Amino acid sequence: MKVAVIGGGVAGLSAAYFLAKSGVNVKVFEQKYLLYGASGRNSGGLTVQFNSEPLIRLAKRTLELYDSIQSEVGFNFLLRRDGYVKIAGEGEESELKKEVEFQRRNGVNVELMEPEFVRELFPDINTFAFSVASYYADGGVVFPWPVVWGLAKGCRELGVEVYDYTPANVELKGNELVVKANGESYKVDYVINAAGAWSDEISKQVGVELGNKVYREEICVTESLKPYVDPYIMDISTGVYFSQSMRGEIVGGILGSETTTLETKASLDFLTSYAKRITELVPKLRGMAILRQWAGLYDVGRNGIPVIGETKVKGFIQLNGFGRHGMSLALAAGEGVAELITKGKSSIIEPFKP
């Protein structure tokens, strides 16, 4: 069996890794370098705090896989399970409370907390800047770069050919799928479309309508402080989030907005909006120097959830639409796609079929 994966992010490499473990012949095609897409441009937050039972199951399985995969491939993902905190102002308080009730009914060990509890986790937080919080103790942060590097290493050691700087096109010739890249043509049994923000383009090449929306999100890092921010903190009222890297940088951004252009330029508007809110939340950060800022692109399925499974074109499989939660969902999604190809079905990805 031969499989081509379009896209060298976490989702595509995860699918390739699990397929290769089952003895499948796999090639991965990445149009740029392996960290070019959303998998190399995100903040690494890990949580299962979703409003959908299938997403919760997918996220729980992904968090399980992080530990086993980094051991298998012999690569440290710099994973920290120091908690994931959502905070909200009075206007979003009822929304957050309903979310916590739903998650608890679906087996998530999440707690509704007062602002003072958050200050116990992070003493510099301004408790007057929000009114309520939810806390998932098993959540945290992972450094996206070593996840991608580690998965690529594991894939190559299993015989997967990973081609970077190799744009690929997919053609449907009769009932056969053909991938064209590097001046070569490859007949394959399956194509996995894990191209993220470029997934619509790939789908159209074989006459499949996907219709994912593309979002652009900006992030920045400050100069380093002695590490002291343990949890990942998300403010659902403003979309601002932040955590601290192991090198001491404050890594933060604002939730993305829909875009029609695949552009990754940074903006001053983002920086001023982010600086205003982050210094309200953490006044001691006033005066910190911004070392770097950037933008990334991700795609979201039409109904707000990922698109995973076989399409009307036999052998053409979608693995995209994760939104900004690819790090929390993609490992299990890749495992599910591998199971779908090798065993004919996978219950964990069934709710996300095209």
The full DSSP string for 130-172 is: -SEEEEETT-EE--HHHHHHHHHHHHHHTT-EEESS---EEEE
- pLDDT category at 218 given cuts 50, 70, 90 is very high
User: Average model confidence (pLDDT) for the chain?
Assistant: 97
The CATH number of 2-76+143-211+303-352, from 3.90.79.10, 1.10.760.10, 3.50.50.60, 3.40.50.10240, is 3.50.50.60
Sheet arrangement for strand 184-188: 169-173, 176-181, 184-188
294-351 pLDDT, tens digit each: 999 999 998 899 999 999 999 999 999 999 999 999 999 999 999 999 999 999 999 9
Phi, psi of 284 (to 5 degrees): -65, -10
Closest of 289, 345, 326 to residue 148, by C-alpha: 326
pLDDT recorded at residue 161: 98
pLDDT recorded at residue 318: 98
221-280 pLDDT, tens digit each: 999 999 999 999 999 999 999 999 999 999 999 999 999 999 898 999 999 999 999 999
Q: Are 305 and 352 in contact (CB under 8 A)?
A: yes
- Percent above pLDDT 70 for the chain: 100
pLDDT recorded at residue 134: 98
Q: Give the span between the Cα atoms of 350 and 343, in whole angstroms.
A: 13
- 68, 85, 100, 109 from 137: Cα distances, Å: 20, 8, 13, 8
Q: Give the span between the Cα atoms of 326 and 131, in whole angstroms.
A: 29
**What ranges do the domains of the chain cover?**
2-76+143-211+303-352, 84-137+213-300
Q: 83: helix, coil or strand? A: coil
Q: Are 71 and 203 in contact (CB under 8 A)?
A: no
Tell me the sheet residues that pair with 317: 192, 310
Q: State mean pLDDT over 21-46.
A: 97
Q: State mean pLDDT over 178-190.
A: 97
4-18 pLDDT, tens digit each: 999 999 999 999 999
84-137+213-300 folds as D-Amino Acid Oxidase; Chain A, domain 2 (3.30.9)
247: its two tokens: 């090198």
Among left, alpha and beta (phi > 0; psi -120 to 50; other), residue 295 is: beta
